[in-house]
Amino acid sequence: MFAIRENIEGTNQSFCVAAYIALRWKANEGINHEGPFAASVSDIAARAGCSYNKAAKSLNVLESIGVVTIEKQFCEDNKTRSPSLYTFPASGGTLPRAKGNPLPALRATPSPQTDGSSVPIIEKERKERKELKIASGEPAAIEPRARDLIFEALAKVDNVKIAELTGGGRGSLNKARAEIFKASPNVTPAEITRRAAILRAMYPTATMSAAFLAKHWARCGNMPQDPSSYAAAETRRLEREAAAEDKAKAEREHESFNNPFLNNLTNETAAAAGITP
């Protein structure tokens, strides 16, 4: 047994051991494990994990040292080659029979050649890559972008078209949306529309906007019994603010008129300009 191993390893052909194991594996598929059994060179190359030429050369070496007998076969036309017949010597002096998956000692680039009886892994990978390449060449279906219904509802409150929004307009709507989400995380477009209607009833003269809705979001949660009271209160608030501003302006003017320093500065400025006060 070890003599044949030494003969194989002494051939200086690195793939001879792998080819021998591939032959043993092929023989195990039949009833007669010693032979004769048919196998193609491409099949042995695939199982040994080497190229076709290296497998053919290794088989010739194995035959030359008496490890296996090879009988070349031809088809009826005597021109076309068919898988050769292999026979192991009946002496029993062989390497341990391969069981399980073939385990070649050395590996090289797997041969892409095959006669169909055994498909190398590399062929499967190439086929998969080819299929992926073909698939990638097809135009991918463009999925429609999901609609932002909350943003659309706020745009309706602002009475603007989304396609015509500027960067500032979008920023204003996004800010209003963030404020509303903070108060009502589960808000729906229908709720935005409902509260906007309540807000319009409460402030019919106010300019409606998403920012205005966000500001009064909590107040317009439910329709008040007297929505006009909010409008009247808003009017009174605006009137008070206007009256306060008018009063402050009058006080500033009165203070300026009675201030000697400011009066003197005004007279000097007028004299410098050649204007008689």
Tell me which H or E stretch contains 191.
helix 189-202
132 vs 186, which has greater pLDDT? 186
Residue 130 CA to residue 124 CA, distance in Å, equals: 10
How high is the mean pLDDT of the chain?
A: 73
Grade residue 69 by pLDDT with cuts at 50, 70 and 90: confident
| Mean pLDDT of the region 180-184 | 91
The yes-or-no verdict on residue 99 having pLDDT over 60 is no
pLDDT for res 157: 92
Output DSSP code: residue 259. -
For the chain, how many residues are written?
Answer: 277
pLDDT for res 100: 41
69 with 76: CB under 8 angstroms? Answer: no
Angle between helix 52-64 and 41-48 (nearest 10): 100
What is the band of 142 on the pLDDT scale with cuts at 50, 70, 90? low
Gap between the Cα atoms of 202 and 219, Å rounded: 10
Better pLDDT: 245 or 233: 245
Binned at pLDDT 50, 70 and 90, residue 192 comes out as very high
Lowest mean pLDDT among 32-46, 88-102, 147-161: 88-102
Q: What is the pTM (predicted TM-score) of this model?
A: 0.35
**Residues 207, 220: Cα–Cα separation, whole Å:** 15
